[in-house]
Structure 1
Amino acid sequence: MADSDEDFVLSSSGDDRPKARGAGGGGGGGGGAAGSSRRSTRKSKRADGAPAPGATKREKWEDIQRSWDNVVEGADGSIAGTVIGLLEATKRKRLLRDTTPIQRGIIRHLVLILDLSSAMLEKDLRPTRFLLTLRYARDFVTEYFEQNPISQLSIIGMHDGLALRISDMGGNPADHLTALQEKAFTVEPKGASSLQNALEMGRAELFHTPTHGTREILLIFGALSSSDPGDIHDTINSLIEDRIQVRIVGLAAQVAVCRELVMKTNDGDDSAYGVILDEGHYRELMMAATTPPVTKTEEKSVPSLLMMGFPSRTVEKHESLCSCHSNLTKGGYICPRCTAKVCFLPTECPCCGLTLILSTHLARSYHHLFPLKNWVEVPWSEAHTSTHCWSCQSPFPTNQSQTSSIKIKIRNPSTTAATATASRSNGATTTSTAPKNDHQQQQQQPPQPPTQRYACTDCKTHFCIDCDIFTHESLHNCPGCQSLSEERVKARANMWPPSIGDGTADAAGEPTSSSMRTQVAEATKMLENSKIAPGSSMEVEN
């Protein structure tokens, strides 16, 4: 049966099926070609599964990763420990970053370009690309000013082949959120997108920004083509001359001109161009732009002095006009140079042009230069030193499968060796004399669940995963290092891990060696009451 495109062969019985290896030249040739193709495919892989030197490199999307392959049952037969470990690994994925102090531009000027073309009506992202992008744009504006309080932002849209200005360059997040609600939500995605028009408008927005700050463009591109009035390569060269860095988040697939744009404006580095995999990855790529870019060239790292003003808060009895919006207000901030009143900070004085900020804004931007160190996961061998989180005081889980036990081996020259195990689980003592066969001894122990404890590398205090995320994303200071004095922090760092000896105590304050001696005495008394053959020897293992 044949259709308009190709021949369709209906499933038939074995007698009607075409011969794969026929006597005719056409059938034999086809079978030989197929066989050689299969043989070449088998030869392209080595025995260990890795591709041969001459084989074609596989793409990342060709490797299938099944999530259920990572699920392993615990000692009790449940997968609760694996699920907890996967959730914590997902939470800490963003936190495990390079904490090396690097020079960055903390005074930023960024233009956010949103794609408002008809390609944003696709429903591969729920509910649609357009609605999800606007929701993430609002979250990005809030997070951007939270991490960069002395920076400024502007929003532009690509709609029907033109560039639409949504909000002007400013440092007040409320203005940008209001502009997104009034302009972006009322516009229906339509027409094609124009990269050149949007980049030219963003370049004009950044042209008059001071040289001591960074010039960046974050482009959310959902289409696969661009309708430009001229040569976009001329625009790329103009961006390079103006030292504007471009970061692109693709919603469909990688586009060659976007990759070229990112590489040329970022000194040959294409890591600033990412294509999303799902909604979560989309948010990660957008929030990655909240971190200031690294200063790579010597021309950008030239130090320069910047004059700033720290205004004082004032509350008036009668309303007066502010110099920024010409609104009647009773409160505001007074410029220390020209005594003009402004409504919010940080901003530039409309009268004298002085940058007005608060000391807290400068302190919050400082953590990008000296980030907080990553905390390390505490193993079960050191988990006994803490029972609660240092910050929120939430209790830590205990590993019931790994209890500190004392094994007493009795060697009988005439009979088989018996093993008595005295466990201090719940204060009870039990004995086990059944010998284990070789097969049981060779079985691998199931993986242990995570301790859910994370320790600071300086003060050695333990925290939960929620406090770890909150500290690294919002607080940027270790609560343990801030609460303890410098002498106590150094002392804890030198005595870690705690030594176990006669009369010493662990970090929880419980004597360790005395409890072990008590258990040995109880186990010895128990064995004295049992029947042991004369001439047997006894060994004690911890």
Structure 2
Amino acid sequence: MADPGLDDADAQGYRWETEYERTWEVLQEDATGSLTASVQDVVLGMKRRRLLEKKPNLRLGMMRHVFVIMDMSDSMKDQDFKPNRAFCVIKLLEYFVGEFFDQNPIGQIGFITTKNKRAERMTELSGNAKKHLAALNLLRTNDLSGEPSLQNSLELAAETLRNIPSHASREIIVVMGSLTSCDPGNIFDTARMLRECNIRCSVIGLSAEVSICRNLAKDTVGEYSVALDESHLKDVMMAQVFPPPVSANSDSFLIKMGFPQQKAHERLDEYSFCICHLDQLNSSLYGKPGYFCPVCISKYCELPVECKVCGLTLVSAPHLARSYHHLFPVEAFQELSSEQLRAFTSRTCFGCMAKNEEEKSHWFQCKSCKNIFCIDCDLFVHETLHSCPGCASSPVKPE
């Protein structure tokens, strides 16, 4: 009998043991003795399971403010991720930045590193992807040393996030390679403070499951995952791209926004510097076209951005329009059985025009337009395109 004092996860034993047993039950060799096709089916099945978990009519945090905490301690020198953990994480974070701003055009992101028992803010919260990519590129030359401090990193991120308006989403993503953390105080007090400030903390582990990380994610309604390999690490990291549901106690406000147009100076006496580059003034920035705030006429290089003078949120209309696809996701396609698939005279994917030559392959049908798609196109429609090509190309029927 299990100890009633243990939680569900402890009573079930180690999670990786049960996952290991179930994995070998579903893996089967093909005619050539290879497991590649079976492994791909398992991975694609996990991705599709995430699509089925997405429900419409959910209140999501569209204005995301995310701090990514990177472990830069000695443990990141391990070579279980090639060429080492640090290089692999930096490479995936560079890809993550591009995907984050593609799926969250009005979101902001910042980076914090921790090593030698300290935490350092690498970049502030910003919507400038080039700034973050340049900072990540500099990390490749940084030394990996000492121990990380999870508590110092969380408190450094909370100093900025607690001042974010309550209608915005406050999040922290921790990429932890070490199994230990050198903290100056009680980290459970920090977790309690994050919960009270409605800051969602998710942890991605690179070594093994750690109790404090699991409890931190559980207390703040975040997610905790341990990466098995580089491809699994990419999947776990990309799962953080999509906005999470908003907590029930978050407030709702009308947000005042400005939609500036890019303008160039017509006269030499009108040349000016942009507000976002005041710390690195040079002649190459003087007189360049920019976006002018409609309230205070401050100049900025890129959008979206929050005006540093008047506090107005400056965005473009396409940015705002692209943010709404999360609120109205494409309904999950229905998987077809072998008998249902045989009923189609032309078994060709409507997306990539590939023909169904294997009976064991997975095929799906849109409930609206009744077109069939392969599993690759199904994932592409739901994760990238956010629109069914069959429904979009069908003529609109008069009511």
Task: State whether TM-score is above 0.5.
Answer: yes
Q: Aligned residue for 1:324?
A: 276
**Counterpart-to-counterpart distance in 2, 1:245 and 1:222:** 20
- After superposition, the C-alpha distances for 1:38-58 in whole angstroms (9 at most, x for unaligned) are xxxxxx9xxxxxxxxxxx855
- After superposition, the C-alpha distances for 1:177-216 in whole angstroms (9 at most, x for unaligned) are 111112x222111001111111111111213222210111
| Residue 156 (structure 1) shift | 0.3
| Residue 143 (structure 1) shift | 1.3
**Aligned residue among 109, 130, 136 for 1:153:** 109
> TM-score scaled by structure 2?
0.85
- Where do 5+ consecutive residues of structure 2 fail to align? 2-10, 279-284
Q: How does 1:43-442 map to 2 (within 5 A)?
A: 57=12, 59-63=14-18, 64-65=20-21, 70-71=27-28, 87=40, 90-91=43-44, 93-96=46-49, 97=51, 98-101=53-56, 102-182=58-138, 184-266=139-221, 272-297=223-248, 299-300=249-250, 302-317=251-266, 320-326=272-278, 327-380=285-338, 381-383=340-342, 384-392=344-352, 394-398=353-357
Counterpart residue type for residue 160 of structure 1: N
| Residue 84 (structure 1) shift | 5.3
Q: How does 1:440-459 map to 2 (within 5 A)?
A: 448-450=359-361, 453-459=363-369
**Bigger Rg over Cα:** 1
**Aligned residue among 472, 496, 521 for 2:382:** 472
Counterpart residue type for residue 178 of structure 2: A
Q: Indicate conservation of the 8 Å contact 2:27/2:38, yes or no.
A: no
Q: Which range moves more in the overlay, 332-341 or 109-118?
A: 332-341
* Corresponding residue SS for 2:105: coil
| Residue 262 (structure 1) shift | 2.0
- Where do 5+ consecutive residues of structure 1 fail to align? 1-43, 45-55, 400-447, 491-542
**Counterpart-to-counterpart distance in 2, 1:212 and 1:92:** 35
Q: Which range moves more in the overlay, 347-356 or 169-178?
A: 347-356
| Residue 141 (structure 1) shift | 1.4
* Larger proportion of helix: 2
| Residue 391 (structure 1) shift | 3.4
Counterpart residue type for residue 449 of structure 1: K
**Counterpart-to-counterpart distance in 2, 1:124 and 1:84:** 24
- After superposition, the C-alpha distances for 1:202-258 in whole angstroms (9 at most, x for unaligned) are 111213222210111111111111111222233223222322111111112222222
Q: Aligned residue for 1:481?
A: 391
1:464–1:233 CA distance, 2 compared to 1 (3 A): closer
* Corresponding residue SS for 2:240: helix
| Residue 387 (structure 1) shift | 4.6
Q: Indicate conservation of the 8 Å contact 1:119/1:223, yes or no.
A: yes
* Corresponding residue SS for 2:276: coil
- After superposition, the C-alpha distances for 1:33-91 in whole angstroms (9 at most, x for unaligned) are xxxxxxxxxxx9xxxxxxxxxxx855443355465974366xxx6689x9657535533
* Corresponding residue SS for 1:219: strand
| Residue 107 (structure 1) shift | 0.6
| Greater than 4 Å deviation, 4+ residue runs | 63-69, 77-80, 82-86
> TM-score scaled by structure 1?
0.64
RMSD over aligned CA atoms reads 2.7
| Residue 142 (structure 1) shift | 1.4
- After superposition, the C-alpha distances for 1:293-348 in whole angstroms (9 at most, x for unaligned) are 21232x21x32111111111223456542232243243222222223321111111
**Counterpart-to-counterpart distance in 1, 2:309 and 2:216:** 38
* Corresponding residue SS for 2:289: strand
**Counterpart-to-counterpart distance in 1, 2:17 and 2:341:** 41
- After superposition, the C-alpha distances for 1:432-461 in whole angstroms (9 at most, x for unaligned) are xxxxxxxxxxxxxxxx432x5432111111
Counterpart residue type for residue 303 of structure 1: S
Q: Aligned residue for 2:282?
A: none
* Corresponding residue SS for 2:275: coil
**Counterpart-to-counterpart distance in 1, 2:17 and 2:44:** 26
Sequence identity percentage: 37
Counterpart residue type for residue 259 of structure 2: F
Q: Indicate conservation of the 8 Å contact 1:386/1:462, yes or no.
A: no
- After superposition, the C-alpha distances for 1:254-290 in whole angstroms (9 at most, x for unaligned) are 2222222222222xxxx61122222222222222211
**Counterpart-to-counterpart distance in 1, 2:324 and 2:17:** 42
1:87–1:257 CA distance, 2 compared to 1 (3 A): closer
* Corresponding residue SS for 1:203: helix
**Counterpart-to-counterpart distance in 2, 1:185 and 1:328:** 31
**Counterpart-to-counterpart distance in 2, 1:153 and 1:69:** 39
